[in-house]
């Protein structure tokens, strides 16, 4: 019962709560991870744009040099060639990052005096002004530029009329780029001014960029050539697209000057990485940040881990709480249930504890009220039933008594009619004979028959006396008193002293007889009749003895009057207390003595019976009295009436 | 004693009544033809030839039994039932001679196959006449088995 209810509560509540907890945890985790990932990705992306801007500014700053040179050349038409070449030398000397500085004019475009400078330093064979101060070989020197009419670095600015940052190129093992600006004269293209810069410095700067722990930056040119890359051997040689499919997409998108981010693979480690790219506007180059996913989402994973931990801990806590709560909620209900079982089992004293609050306390109180009412009702019913039972028993006892009385009355009537008639028949009969004998003078016959009539009349008188006595017992009663039974026995013995003396009988009265409560005269008559009866049936006993005494019975004492006379045939033991029953017709008496004895014992609430070993073995009349009739003397004189 | 002297068995506890019955028989019949026992037990002893009547010579079969109902020791009705269910005795006519006019006694007597039920008259003359008629009828007119 207990485990059942508690178990059911746990089985119902726990999965629901745990599922809800798991769902919410998963949702929060997913949202958090997404947000965190987004934040990391945005961070990386913004970093990419930041670096792109920085290098854009750097390139722009470098581009300012040739631009200034170009504007200068446009403004000072009068400057001579040597002056320009000296200026180039100064630019080279002043900027260590610049490997070369140059100007290149269209033929005759500078001052129309090319002829004069054929094969002069900084000029070609036609005398075209092409000075190129450089330190490609280490120390600074002046060279004429070559192949300019077939090279992009000259043709693109000439064609577009715009500043141009050339595709990086390797010269003497050094990756470089050229920043070229067109020199316009009266809106006409006259030549270019430019500087060559080493990209090694830029590569170092890009290589110094760290994204998270091991992430890095890649710099690619407009054509997709690698300008900065961890593997230096691939700089200038490999293209973006060579790094993987994601980089192909980046190259394509970057060519349209777009910024973006894409999930891809770190070309160095081969691990998953977020690739963020942003254009470097001036040069059309692309800055790419490789952010390793593992590092970028490290926080996210840590977050997920701790959240999972918290979720598991919460689940455990909630489980324990539910188990405990189920027990707490179930306990009073289980107690109520146990109480209901107890009540069903008949224990109406069972009560539920009322000390919890809320509905359960109210329920317990209601339950207890109900039980109390039930108990009261049951008690009433029990009392009623007990009363009914008592009344019924009393009624039954009354009916039984009434039936007994009726039967007794019938027996009495019958016996009286029979036994009173007998002496009448004798009297009338022998009076008839007396008349005949008187007529014929038979004096002997007369004497005999008159004696018969006389005896019959006497017997009838005795019979009437005894019948009257019998009818009075229990009907006419004197107030009961406390009487020592020993005294009564001695008085009874004195009343029949004559008969006892005549047969030489010894009467022995026990010394320890108790005090009995009842009608003194009747009790003495009882003992007298029994002693007389014993003396009457002594037979030819040589030493007749009659004992009066008491035995301790299981409930009340059993009194006895015992003799060593003729005894009683066991077949007739039950009949001897009947009205007019005489076992020996020759014996004196009316046959009512023992009936009177029985009646006296009965009105004193006792019973009487006879015991005998058989004819010639003596007999014993044993009787009890109502237990209330045998008690100590302290209650004497309370005037209680006999029923 | 021959059989002729014991034709009637009188079962009567009251000695005065027994005397009256026997005097009547002496006047009307042969008086010594009657044998009286004083209680039910003695009656059964006589009829079943036991106890002091064990000798068949002392207890010849009666031709008629006069039986009182209220008897010491063994009741008259029990004596009736015992002898009416005994093979050698049941054909002997049993005349109930009692003071009882009780309907119950009457019915139980006939139920016990009593042959006749007579109530002792209180009046002396009637008593004498009844005894005369009884002897005449049962020992005279009546055929015995």
pLDDT of A585: 64
- Three-class secondary structure of residue A606 per DSSP: coil
- Three-class secondary structure of residue A177 per DSSP: strand
Helical H segments across A76-166, by residue range: 81-94, 152-160
**For chain B, how far is it from start to end, CA to CA, in angstroms?**
22
What is the ipTM metric for this complex?
0.89
- Interface touch A422/B100, C-beta < 8 Å: no
Alpha carbon A476 to chain centroid, angstroms: 78
Chain B residues inside the 8 Å CB shell of A428: 122-124, 127
Chain A residues inside the 8 Å CB shell of B122: 421, 424-425, 428
Whether pLDDT at B1 is above 70: no
**Bigger pLDDT: A633 vs A40:** A40
Q: Which residue has the tokens 């504890």?
A: A353
**Containing H/E element for B22?**
helix B15-28
Q: Are A131 and A208 in contact (CB under 8 A)?
A: no
- Interface touch B17/A430, C-beta < 8 Å: no
A234-238, A472-476, B14-18: range with lowest mean pLDDT: A472-476
pLDDT band at B121 (very low <50, low <70, confident <90, very high): very high
Cβ pairs A/B, distance under 8 A? 71
Across the beta sheet with A272-280, the strand order is A226-228, A216-220, A285-292, A272-280, A260-265
pLDDT of B3: 40
Chain A residues inside the 8 Å CB shell of B127: 425, 428-429, 432
Whether pLDDT at A324 is above 90: no
Q: Does B51 touch chain A (CB under 8 A)?
A: no
pLDDT band at A633 (very low <50, low <70, confident <90, very high): very low
Whether pLDDT at A192 is above 60: yes
**Do A76-198 and A479-635 come out as alike in CATH topology?**
no
- Interface touch A429/B127, C-beta < 8 Å: yes
Q: Give residue limits of the domains in chain A.
A: 76-198, 379-472, 479-635
Closest residue in chain A to residue B12, using alpha carbons only: A585
Whether pLDDT at B18 is above 90: yes
CA distances from A429 to A450, B17, B120 (A): 11, 8, 11
pLDDT of B80: 96
pLDDT band at A79 (very low <50, low <70, confident <90, very high): confident
Provide the token pair at B71: 């008897």
Q: How far apart are CA A8 and CA A326, in angstroms?
A: 9
Chain B residues inside the 8 Å CB shell of A418: 70, 98-100, 102
**Angle, alpha carbons A495-A498-A500 (nearest 5°):** 95
Residue A261: name the closest of A283, A277, A239, A273 by CA.
A277
- Interface touch B72/A426, C-beta < 8 Å: no
pLDDT of A195: 92
- Does the structural domain B3-134 have CATH classification 3.40.50.2300? yes
pLDDT of A638: 41
Whether pLDDT at A554 is above 50: yes
A209-218, A364-373, A517-526, B67-76: range with lowest mean pLDDT: A364-373
Mean pLDDT of the A56-66 span: 88
Q: Does B119 touch chain A (CB under 8 A)?
A: no
Provide the token pair at A452: 């018969």
Choose which CATH entry (3.30.420.40, 3.30.450.20, 3.40.50.300, 3.40.50.720) describes domain A76-198. Answer: 3.30.450.20
pLDDT band at A634 (very low <50, low <70, confident <90, very high): very low
pLDDT of A193: 92
DSSP A508: E
Q: Does B73 touch chain A (CB under 8 A)?
A: yes
Residue A576: name the closest of A522, A626, A612, A528 by CA.
A612
Residue A56: name the closest of A242, A283, A246 by CA.
A283
3-state SS string for A210-248: CECCCEEEEEECCCCEEEECCCHHHCCCCEHHHHCHHHH
Mean pLDDT of the B83-100 span: 93
Whether pLDDT at A188 is above 60: yes
Considering the segment(s) A379-472 as one domain, its CATH architecture is Orthogonal Bundle (1.10)
pLDDT band at A354 (very low <50, low <70, confident <90, very high): confident
Residue A122: name the closest of A132, A113, A112 by CA.
A132
CATH annotation of A479-635 = 3.30.565.10
Whether pLDDT at B119 is above 90: yes
pLDDT band at B49 (very low <50, low <70, confident <90, very high): very high
Mean pLDDT of the A120-141 span: 89
Q: Does A452 touch chain B (CB under 8 A)?
A: yes
Whether pLDDT at A640 is above 50: no
Chain A residues inside the 8 Å CB shell of B125: 432
Per-residue pLDDT of A213-235, as tens digits, reads: 888 999 998 888 888 888 888 88
Per-residue pLDDT of A4-53, as tens digits, reads: 777 887 888 888 888 888 888 888 888 887 887 788 888 888 888 898 89
**Containing H/E element for B97?**
strand B94-98
Across the beta sheet with A506-509, the strand order is A506-509, A545-551, A558-563, A619-623, A608-612
Mean pLDDT of the A199-206 span: 87
Provide the token pair at A186: 């009266």
Look over chain A and give the mean of its residue pLDDT values, rounded to a whole number. Answer: 84
Q: Does A456 touch chain B (CB under 8 A)?
A: yes
Q: How far apart are CA A40 and CA B132, in angstroms?
A: 154
Question: What residue ranges in A70-187 does DSSP mark as E strands?
Answer: 98-105, 131-134, 141-144, 164-165, 169-171, 174-185
pLDDT above 70 as % of chain B: 93
Provide the token pair at A403: 């039936």
Q: How far apart are CA A531 and CA A546, in angstroms?
A: 7
Q: Are A526 and A625 in contact (CB under 8 A)?
A: no
pLDDT band at A628 (very low <50, low <70, confident <90, very high): low
pLDDT of B109: 95
Residue A621: name the closest of A550, A544, A517 by CA.
A550
Nearest by CB to B120, which of A425, A452, A581? A425
CA dihedral A424, A425, A431, A434 (to 10 degrees): -140
Whether pLDDT at A637 is above 50: no
- Interface touch B19/A585, C-beta < 8 Å: no
Q: Does A409 touch chain B (CB under 8 A)?
A: no
Per-residue pLDDT of A80-114, as tens digits, reads: 888 889 989 998 988 888 889 999 999 988 888 88
* All residues at 6 or more sequence positions from A74 whose CB lies less than 8 Å from its CB, including other chains: A183, A184, A185, A190
CA distances from B16 to A73, A115, A425, A429, B25 (A): 197, 212, 9, 9, 14
pLDDT of B100: 86
Mean pLDDT of the A161-171 span: 86
Region class of A188: left (phi > 0), else alpha (psi between -120 and 50), else beta: beta
Looking at the complex, report in whole angstroms how far the Cα of residue A437 sits from the nearest Cα belonging to chain B. Answer: 13
Provide the token pair at A44: 């990386």
Q: How far apart are CA A266 and CA A216, in angstroms?
A: 10
Nearest by CB to A582, which of B17, B72, B120? B72
Whether pLDDT at A402 is above 50: yes
pLDDT of B90: 92
Nearest by CB to B124, which of A428, A456, A582? A428
Q: Does A572 touch chain B (CB under 8 A)?
A: yes
Whether pLDDT at B127 is above 50: yes
- Interface touch B17/A452, C-beta < 8 Å: no
Q: How far apart are CA B16 and CA A422, in angstroms?
A: 9
Q: How far apart are CA A298 and CA B55, in angstroms?
A: 139
pLDDT band at B98 (very low <50, low <70, confident <90, very high): very high
Per-residue pLDDT of A238-291, as tens digits, reads: 888 888 888 888 888 888 888 888 888 888 888 888 899 999 888 889 999 998
Q: How far apart are CA B73 and CA A615, in angstroms?
A: 13
CA distances from B83 to A49, A471, B86 (A): 148, 38, 5
- Interface touch B120/A426, C-beta < 8 Å: no
Q: Does B26 touch chain A (CB under 8 A)?
A: no
- Three-class secondary structure of residue A263 per DSSP: strand
């Amino acid at each position: 019962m207990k485990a059942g209810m508690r178990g059911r509560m746990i089985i119902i509540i726990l999965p629901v709560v745990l599922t809800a907890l798991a769902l919410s945890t998963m949702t929060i985790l997913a949202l958090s991870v997404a947000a965190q990932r987004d934040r990391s990705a945005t961070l990386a992306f913004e970093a990419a744009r930041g670096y792109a801007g920085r290098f854009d500014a750097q390139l722009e700053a470098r581009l300012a040099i040739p631009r200034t040179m170009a504007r200068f050349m446009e403004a000072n038409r009068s400057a001579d060639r040597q002056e320009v070449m000296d200026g180039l030398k100064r630019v080279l000397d002043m900027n260590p990052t610049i490997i070369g500085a140059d100007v290149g004019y269209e033929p005759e475009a500078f001052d129309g005096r090319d002829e004069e400078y054929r094969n002069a330093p900084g000029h070609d064979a036609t005398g075209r002004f092409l000075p190129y101060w450089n330190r490609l070989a280490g120390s600074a020197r002046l060279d004429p530029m070559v192949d300019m009419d077939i090279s992009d670095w000259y043709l693109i600015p000439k064609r577009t009329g715009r500043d141009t940052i050339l595709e990086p190129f390797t010269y003497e093992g050094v990756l470089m780029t050229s920043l070229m600006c067109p020199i316009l004269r009266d809106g006409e293209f006259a030549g270019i001014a430019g500087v060559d810069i080493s990209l090694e410095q830029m590569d170092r700067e890009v290589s110094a960029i760290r994204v998270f722990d091991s992430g890095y930056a890649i710099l690619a040119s407009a054509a997709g050539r690698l300008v900065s890359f961890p593997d230096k051997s691939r700089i200038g040689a490999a293209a973006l697209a060579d790094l993987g499919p994601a980089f192909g997409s980046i190259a394509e998108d970057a060519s349209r000057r777009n910024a973006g981010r894409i999930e891809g693979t770190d070309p160095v480690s081969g691990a998953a990485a977020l690739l963020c790219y942003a254009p470097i506007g001036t040069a059309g180059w692309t800055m790419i940040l490789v952010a390793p996913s593992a590092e970028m989402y490290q926080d996210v994973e840590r977050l997920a881990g701790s959240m999972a931990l918290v979720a598991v801990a919460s689940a455990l806590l909630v489980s324990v709480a539910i188990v405990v709560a189920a027990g707490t909620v179930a306990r009073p209900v289980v107690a109520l249930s146990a109480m209901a079982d107890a009540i069903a089992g008949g224990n109406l004293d069972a009560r539920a504890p009322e000390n919890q609050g809320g509905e359960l306390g109210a329920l317990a109180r209601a339950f207890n009220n109900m039980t109390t009412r039930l108990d009261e009702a049951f008690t009433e019913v029990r009392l009623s039933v007990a009363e009914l039972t008592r009344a019924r028993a009393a009624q039954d006892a009354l009916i039984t008594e009434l039936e007994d009385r009726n039967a007794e009355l019938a027996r009495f009537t019958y016996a009286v009619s029979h036994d009173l008639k007998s002496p009448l028949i004798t009297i009338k009969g022998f009076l008839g004979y007396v008349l005949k004998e008187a007529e014929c003078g038979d004096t002997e016959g007369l004497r005999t028959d008159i004696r018969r009539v006389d005896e019959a009349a006497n017997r009838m008188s005795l019979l009437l006396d005894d019948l009257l006595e019998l009818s009075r017992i229990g009907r006419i009663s004197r107030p009961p008193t406390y009487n020592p039974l020993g005294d009564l026995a001695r008085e009874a013995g004195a009343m029949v002293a004559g008969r006892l003396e005549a047969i030489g009988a010894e009467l022995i009265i026990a010394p320890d007889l108790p005090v009995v409560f009842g009608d003194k005269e009747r009790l003495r008559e009882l003992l007298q009749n029994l002693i007389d009866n014993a003396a009457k049936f002594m037979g030819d006993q040589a030493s007749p003895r009659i004992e009066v005494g008491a035995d301790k019975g299981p409930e009340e004492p059993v009194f006895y009057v015992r003799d060593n006379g003729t005894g009683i045939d066991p077949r007739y033991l039950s009949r001897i207390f009947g009205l007019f029953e005489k076992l020996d017709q020759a014996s004196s008496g009316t046959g009512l003595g023992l009936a009177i004895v029985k009646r006296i014992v009965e009105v004193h609430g006792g019973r009487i019976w006879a015991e005998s070993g058989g004819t010639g073995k003596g007999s014993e009349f044993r009787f009890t009295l109502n237990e209330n009739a045998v008690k100590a003397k302290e209650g004497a004189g309370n005037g209680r009436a006999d029923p | 004693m021959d059989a002729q002297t014991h034709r009637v068995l009188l079962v009567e506890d009251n000695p005065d009544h027994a005397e009256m019955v026997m005097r009547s028989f002496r006047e009307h019949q042969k008086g010594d033809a009657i044998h009286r026992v004083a209680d039910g037990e003695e009656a059964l002893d006589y009829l079943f030839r036991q106890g002091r009547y064990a000798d068949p010579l002392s207890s010849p079969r009666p031709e008629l039994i006069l039986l009182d109902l209220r008897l010491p020791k063994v009741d008259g009705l029990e004596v009736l039932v015992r002898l009416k269910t005994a093979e050698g005795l049941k054909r002997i006519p049993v005349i109930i001679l009692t003071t009882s006019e009780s309907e119950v006694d009457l019915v139980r007597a006939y139920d016990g196959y009593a042959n006749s039920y007579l109530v002792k008259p209180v009046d002396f003359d009637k008593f004498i006449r009844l005894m005369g008629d009884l002897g005449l009828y049962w020992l005279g007119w009546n055929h015995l088995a």
